[in-house]
Amino acid sequence: MDISNTIIRIRNRYRRSLSIHYGQRLLELRPKFPIISFTFDDFPRSALLEGGAILQRHGICGTYYVSLGLLGRELPAGPGFLIEDLRQVIAEGHELGCHTFAHCHSWETTPGVFEKSIIKNKHALGELVPGAAFKTLSYPIACPRPRTKRRAARHFVCCRGGGESFNVGPTDVSNLQARFLEKSRDNPDALKRLIDENTRASGWLILATHDIAETPTPFGCTPAFFEVIVQWAVTSGARILPVARAWEEITAK
């Protein structure tokens, strides 16, 4: 037995438990109709050039979570976004979401530093794309600390984490669940079943990934796989909306 790996698993399980059960902002989510949101973390260029093109062909939009401190850099998920990509996202009706300026590790970064990075990202967006604003956040890398969730709640209508399911009923809107596509890229039927379950429950399913490329990194998937999932989502009976727009629909009186 590898003792070090066992310790890491126990530590991560403990962190997830704290993240899930504390610092909650609970809200009863009862969408009037099933909703699916497609989201991209880190914003590698392929997420827009390949993934965005697929969404546009189907007449739908997604959410791009961006760390503006990574502008123009090579990312673990491939070449990163450029300024013109930010403008294209907005022009095509997609949402730009916050991923902190410095792509802060959501557990290892202290809550105060994490919040400062949120604020810095907001200011940077205003300088790069005047008039644009972040409404939602995706936590980078790991589950967030409870105190980090509380600080993030000051700045966003809702925040997205990870998880395996959709959102319905009593929900921590400071840590919405999302299913990462790359975890099932060898098993599209698992995602199709989840989409169908979301339709039956009239829930809000958030699907997440990073790059969309013919040879994807471990953090992304191929255009063909993404096309299959988008097509299934479109025909599922759900409405496909960016995260902020989905929030508006769900919370409308």
User: What's the CATH number for 33-251?
Assistant: 3.20.20.370
Count Cβ neighbours within 10 Å for each residue of 149-158 and write b for 16 or more, e otherwise.
bbbbbebbeb
Pairwise CA distance, residues 152 & 222, whole Å: 32
- Average of per-residue pLDDT across 126-144: 97
pLDDT surpasses 80 at 152: yes
- Average of per-residue pLDDT across 232-237: 98
Residue 30: CB atoms within 10 Å: 12
pLDDT for 7: 75
pLDDT for 30: 96
pLDDT for 229: 98
Domain positions in the chain: 33-251
Mean pLDDT computed over every residue of the chain: 96
- Average of per-residue pLDDT across 110-122: 98
Q: Is residue 146 very low, low, confident or very high in pLDDT (cuts 50, 70, 90)?
A: very high
pLDDT tens figures, 57-72: 999 999 999 999 999 9
pLDDT for 80: 98
- In the chain, beta strands by DSSP E: 26-29, 35-41, 63-66, 74-75, 78-79, 95-98, 136-138, 158-160, 169-172, 179-180, 204-209, 239-240
Structure-block tokens of residue 240: 């496909």
pLDDT for 142: 95
pLDDT surpasses 70 at 1: no
φ/ψ of 237, rounded to 5, equals 95, -5
Does pTM surpass 0.75? Answer: yes
Q: Is residue 163 very low, low, confident or very high in pLDDT (cuts 50, 70, 90)?
A: confident
pLDDT for 15: 87
pLDDT for 241: 98
pLDDT tens figures, 29-68: 999 999 999 999 999 999 999 999 999 999 999 999 999 9
pLDDT for 14: 84
pLDDT for 118: 98
pLDDT tens figures, 172-217: 999 999 999 999 999 999 999 999 999 999 999 999 999 999 999 9
